[in-house]
């Protein structure tokens, strides 16, 4: 916020000192996230991405054409997209050649004429090169991650620009079309529904469409050898894809049958989560079980979570719960990550309570017994979930477990009915929009009628084991 008002002040200065024609100004080079200041851009909002991708796994070569429909939110002289790697062949704006330059992840595009505020425009970027992931601050791989037979494509928090030019911020929702061409015999998956599959001889083009609003980090284009099975759950088109080579973490032998039997929990889990939180937010559902042995995490890609190995039942419930909390209700700033992971982890606990395995209260008590001065306690109680020092802590234990404990402690404090009203309202009021921790606290106080300032201070903002709340 400080950074933004400073930018605004600078723009005003420039405008007041220059002639009227200078009212067209460059869009901001970042969306201002505290952890990823260069991610995303300013001056426009994307409405739709149409991505044509041609991938040759044997040499990891990706040729892409991105057609992006957007609307200017200021009088723009130039604007940026985020793109990592590749050679950009051409850029057009509304069909006319535009000049462009590159610096770091910023692709700066200068159309032949300025773009007026509120004007719709389209930009087409043609690019090609060696596709590759980036390493996140916590050293995990993010983006287009080549596998033996294709690529495992997961983008949280900053992988999307490794495979398409993007306004890479969780604040910009858009719809998507994908046309992904891969060698014959391989399957390309993406978010949403399968539109068509075209046999080109040596290659196959898979077209997918996601009509629900989606932010960039939830996109996917995972591809390789897959057994893709289509079905229906709860009236929704269902697409489950299992790599015949997938296996449990650490196992030498593939076991796709086990993957299929694990995925069989989805209908019951979906019904449970719908009853708990409200209607499923998207028009399709499914799962991708790949074998991506160097990735070490699964991700809640919208409508099709990506699993790097065969997932546990808890992990399937976790990623499904993210469809409500993470994918439909989307964090506005990365430091509020507990809003994603705390809800998804608590969803595992309430699922296990529902199944008679262990109550969420017992799960809370077991964790609460962790002494602060033990190694596990240092891991669990530091830092506070909403006081992460930097992006390297985004996926640390407190974000998950202490985030879930915050919700369970809230459940016990305000009572079952009030708690359920809070979480259902959180979803119903914020579906397909951005939220902050402050929004959640305000909603919990409004619904409960209680002052919860000290409660959330103890659970979310004070490092160390909370002693009273």
CB of 303 to Zn ion, least distance (A): 16
Residue 159 and residue 168 in contact, taking contact as beta carbons nearer than 8 Å: no
Please identify, using beta-carbon distances, which residue of 186 and 318 lies nearer to Zn ion. Answer: 318
Please identify, using beta-carbon distances, which residue of 243 and 341 lies nearer to Zn ion. Answer: 341
CB of 272 to Zn ion, least distance (A): 17
CB of 402 to Zn ion, least distance (A): 14
Stretch that binds Zn ion, among 164-172, 262-270, 335-343, 437-445 (CB under 5 A): 335-343
Please identify, using beta-carbon distances, which residue of 54 and 314 lies nearer to Zn ion. Answer: 314
Please identify, using beta-carbon distances, which residue of 33 and 341 lies nearer to Zn ion. Answer: 341
Q: Is 331 in the site for Zn ion (CB under 5 A)?
A: no
Q: Which pair of structure tokens corresponds to residue 410?
A: 């809230």
Q: Mapping DSSP to helix (H, G, I), strand (E, B) and coil, where does residue 97 land?
A: strand
d(CA 167, CA 161): 9
Backbone angles phi, psi at 350, to 5 degrees: -70, -30
Please identify, using beta-carbon distances, which residue of 207 and 333 lies nearer to Zn ion. Answer: 333
Residues 253-312 that bind Zn ion (CB under 5 A): none
Stretch that binds Zn ion, among 46-54, 80-88, 184-192, 336-344 (CB under 5 A): 336-344
CB of 378 to Zn ion, least distance (A): 22
CB of 4 to Zn ion, least distance (A): 29
CB of 287 to Zn ion, least distance (A): 14
CB of 31 to Zn ion, least distance (A): 22
Q: Which pair of structure tokens corresponds to residue 373?
A: 């001065």
Helices 256-263/313-324 angle, 10° precision: 50
Residues 340-399 that bind Zn ion (CB under 5 A): 341, 344
Stretch that binds Zn ion, among 49-57, 140-148, 338-346, 401-409 (CB under 5 A): 338-346
Please identify, using beta-carbon distances, which residue of 70 and 218 lies nearer to Zn ion. Answer: 218
d(CA 377, CA 379): 5
- Of 158, 191, 159, nearest to 31 by C-alpha is 158
Stretch that binds Zn ion, among 205-213, 248-256, 339-347, 438-446 (CB under 5 A): 339-347
Total of residues contacting Zn ion (CB under 5 A)? 2
Q: Mapping DSSP to helix (H, G, I), strand (E, B) and coil, where does residue 174 land?
A: strand
Q: What angle do CA 387, 317, 49 make, to 5 degrees?
A: 75
Please identify, using beta-carbon distances, which residue of 221 and 344 lies nearer to Zn ion. Answer: 344
Please identify, using beta-carbon distances, which residue of 177 and 341 lies nearer to Zn ion. Answer: 341
Please identify, using beta-carbon distances, which residue of 280 and 395 lies nearer to Zn ion. Answer: 395
CB of 457 to Zn ion, least distance (A): 25
CB of 34 to Zn ion, least distance (A): 20
Residue 327 and residue 302 in contact, taking contact as beta carbons nearer than 8 Å: yes
CB of 315 to Zn ion, least distance (A): 9
Please identify, using beta-carbon distances, which residue of 70 and 344 lies nearer to Zn ion. Answer: 344
**Closest-approach residue to Zn ion (CB):** 344
d(CA 220, CA 397): 25
What is the torsion angle, in degrees rounded to the nearest 10, for the CA atoms of residue 403, residue 215, residue 58 and residue 183? 120
Q: Which pair of structure tokens corresponds to residue 218?
A: 């939830």
Residue 432 and residue 213 in contact, taking contact as beta carbons nearer than 8 Å: yes
Stretch that binds Zn ion, among 109-117, 169-177, 333-341, 451-459 (CB under 5 A): 333-341
CB of 36 to Zn ion, least distance (A): 18
d(CA 75, CA 24): 5
Q: Using the 8-state DSSP alphabet, how is residue 461 labeled? A: I
Q: How far is CA 210 from CA 104, 179, 236, 259, 376, in A?
A: 29, 12, 13, 25, 41
Q: Which pair of structure tokens corresponds to residue 8?
A: 């605004």
d(CA 281, CA 210): 12
Stretch that binds Zn ion, among 179-187, 257-265, 334-342, 421-429 (CB under 5 A): 334-342
Dihedral sign of CA atoms 257, 262, 266, 271 in order: positive
DSSP state string for 253-303 = S--HHHHHHHHTTHHHHHHHHHHHH-S-SSS-EEEEE---TTT---B--TT
Please identify, using beta-carbon distances, which residue of 111 and 342 lies nearer to Zn ion. Answer: 342
Point out which residues bind Zn ion (CB under 5 A): 341, 344
């Amino acid at each position: 916020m400080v950074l933004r008002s400073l930018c605004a002040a600078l723009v005003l200065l420039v405008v007041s000192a220059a002639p009227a024609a200078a009212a067209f100004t460059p869009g901001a080079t970042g969306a201002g996230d505290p952890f990823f200041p260069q991610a995303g851009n300013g001056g426009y909002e994307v409405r739709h991405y149409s991505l044509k991708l041609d991938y040759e796994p044997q040499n990891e070569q990706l040729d892409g054409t991105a057609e992006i429909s957007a609307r200017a939110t200021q009088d723009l002289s130039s604007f940026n997209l985020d793109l990592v790697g590749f050679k950009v062949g051409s850029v057009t704006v509304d069909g006319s050649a535009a000049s462009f330059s590159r610096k770091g992840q910023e692709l700066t595009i200068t159309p032949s004429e300025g773009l007026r505020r509120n004007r719709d425009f389209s930009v087409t970027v043609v690019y090609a090169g060696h596709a590759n992931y980036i390493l996140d601050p916590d050293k995990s791989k993010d983006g287009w991650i080549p596998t033996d037979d294709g690529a495992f494509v997961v983008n949280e928090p900053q992988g999307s620009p490794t495979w398409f030019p993007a306004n890479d911020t969780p604040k910009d929702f858009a719809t998507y079309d994908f046309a992904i061409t891969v060698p014959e015999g391989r399957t390309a998956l993406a978010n949403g529904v399968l539109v068509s599959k075209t046999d080109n001889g040596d290659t196959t083009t898979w077209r997918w469409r996601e009509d629900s609003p989606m932010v960039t980090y939830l996109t996917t284009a995972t591809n390789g050898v897959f057994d893709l099975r289509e079905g229906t759950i709860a009236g929704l088109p269902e697409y489950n894809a299992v790599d015949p080579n997938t296996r449990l973490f650490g196992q030498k032998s593939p076991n796709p049958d086990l993957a299929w039997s694990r995925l069989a929990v989805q209908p019951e889990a979906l019904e449970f989560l719908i009853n708990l939180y409200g209607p499923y937010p998207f028009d399709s559902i499914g799962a991708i079980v790949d074998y991506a042995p160097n990735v070490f995490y699964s991700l809640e890609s919208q409508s099709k979570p990506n699993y790097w190995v065969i997932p546990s039942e808890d992990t399937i419930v976790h990623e499904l719960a993210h469809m409500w909390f993470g994918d439909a209700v989307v964090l506005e700033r990365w430091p509020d990550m507990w809003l994603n992971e705390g809800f998804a982890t608590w969803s595992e606990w309430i699922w296990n309570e529902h199944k008679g395995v262990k109550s969420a209260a017992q799960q809370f008590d077991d964790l609460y017994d962790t002494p602060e001065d033990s190694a596990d306690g240092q891991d669990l109680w530091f830092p506070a979930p909403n006081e992460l020092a930097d992006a390297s802590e985004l996926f640390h234990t407190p974000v998950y477990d202490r985030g879930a404990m915050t919700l369970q402690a809230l459940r016990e404090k305000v009572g079952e009915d009030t708690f359920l009203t809070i979480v259902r309202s959180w979803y119903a009021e914020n579906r397909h929009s951005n939220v902050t921790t402050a929004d959640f606290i305000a909603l919990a106080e409004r619904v409960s009628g209680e002052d919860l300032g000290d409660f959330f201070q103890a659970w979310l903002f004070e490092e160390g084991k909370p002693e009273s709340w």
